[in-house]
């Protein structure tokens, strides 16, 4: 199966530019949800179709997507996308620089459900110390999580930097008036360098995405050969 890496921007038509307001609102969760619905229109041709693409928002207002087919033509919301065939040729021992925005979770023993690896540790720290310890925890837990991913997905991290960690609250779950029905999820920005140990396993996981909350812009790992 072919895969495509696309850069997508909103159309500059007056009818579409009004939608940019929903992408500038201060509530990060609502903004991410709006982006999710807009990007779905770039690929969905059937209301019952399941999401089969990954995406991430870029700082310049564009979006990067990885999908098994190019964005559909004639979409009124977006300008003509920049589409490239994604078919990296990798060998054992290749070194790659990477960037990854991810919702990193693990199954927690004793409670039988998944927890955010960073948020779970932060919640065990006294409230007055959480702000000071947040990024140190993100660095430690993010590195450990990515190492575990590599053991299953054919790579070994050489070094990992936790560049940011924050939480967002998605608006689409339950009654917005009841915050307990609006789950917080953590977004961890990682970058660094990895070594490929099993090219087939690595590429298979790369197109599936890493972590959870993939529908909301997490999980797409960007790679390039290390200099």
- Longest CA–CA span in the chain (Å) reads 54
Burial of 129 (0-12, 13-18, 19+ CB in 10 A): exposed
- pTM greater than the 0.85 cutoff: yes
**Is it true that domain 95-225 has CATH number 3.20.20.70?**
no
pLDDT in the model for residue 48: 72
pLDDT in the model for residue 89: 95
Mean pLDDT across 43-51: 75
Mean pLDDT across 10-31: 70
Mean pLDDT across 195-199: 98
Q: What percent of the chain stands above pLDDT 70?
A: 88
pLDDT in the model for residue 173: 44
Report residue 175's pLDDT band, with 50, 70 and 90 as the boundaries: very low
Compute how many other C-beta atoms are within 10 angstroms of the C-beta atom of residue 5: 18
Query: Residue written as tokens 């575990």?
Result: 148
Residue 15 in this model has a pLDDT that exceeds 70: no
Mean pLDDT across 100-115: 88
Mean pLDDT across 5-26: 75
Mean pLDDT for the chain? 87
Angle of helix 127-153 relative to helix 199-208, nearest 10 degrees, comes to 130
> For the segment 54-93, what is each residue's pLDDT rounded down to a tens digit?
999 998 889 999 999 999 877 778 888 999 999 999 999 9
Q: How far apart are CA 71 and CA 155, in angstroms?
A: 29
Of 104-113, 115-124, 179-188, 197-206, where does mean pLDDT reach its minimum? 179-188
- Residue range(s) in the chain whose domain bears CATH number 3.30.70.1210: 95-225
Q: What is the CATH number of domain 4-85?
A: 3.30.70
Q: How far apart are CA 27 and CA 124, in angstroms?
A: 26
pLDDT in the model for residue 132: 94
pLDDT in the model for residue 176: 46
Of 21-35, 56-70, 120-134, where does mean pLDDT reach its minimum? 21-35
């Amino acid at each position: 199966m072919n895969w495509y890496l696309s850069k997508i921007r909103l159309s500059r038509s007056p009818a579409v530019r009004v939608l940019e307001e929903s992408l500038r609102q201060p509530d990060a969760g609502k903004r991410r949800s709006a982006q999710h619905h807009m990007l779905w229109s770039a690929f969905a041709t059937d209301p019952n179709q399941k999401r089969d693409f990954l995406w991430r928002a870029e700082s310049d207002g564009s979006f990067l997507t990885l999908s098994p087919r190019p964005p559909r033509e004639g979409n009124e919301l977006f300008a003509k996308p920049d589409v490239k065939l994604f078919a990296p040729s990798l060998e054992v021992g290749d070194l790659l620089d990477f960037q990854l925005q991810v919702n990193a979770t693990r199954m927690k023993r004793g409670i039988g459900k998944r927890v955010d690896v960073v948020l779970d540790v932060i919640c065990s720290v006294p409230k007055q110390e959480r702000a000071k310890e947040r990024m140190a925890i993100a660095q430690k837990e993010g590195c450990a999580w990515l190492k575990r991913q590599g053991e299953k997905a054919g790579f070994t991290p050489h070094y990992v930097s936790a560049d940011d960690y924050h939480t967002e609250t998605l608006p689409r779950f339950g009654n917005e008036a009841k915050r307990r029905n609006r789950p917080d999820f953590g977004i961890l920005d990682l970058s660094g360098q990895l070594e490929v140990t099993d090219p087939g396993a690595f590429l298979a996981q790369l197109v599936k995405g890493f972590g959870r909350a993939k529908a909301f812009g997490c999980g797409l790992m960007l790679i390039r050969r290390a200099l």
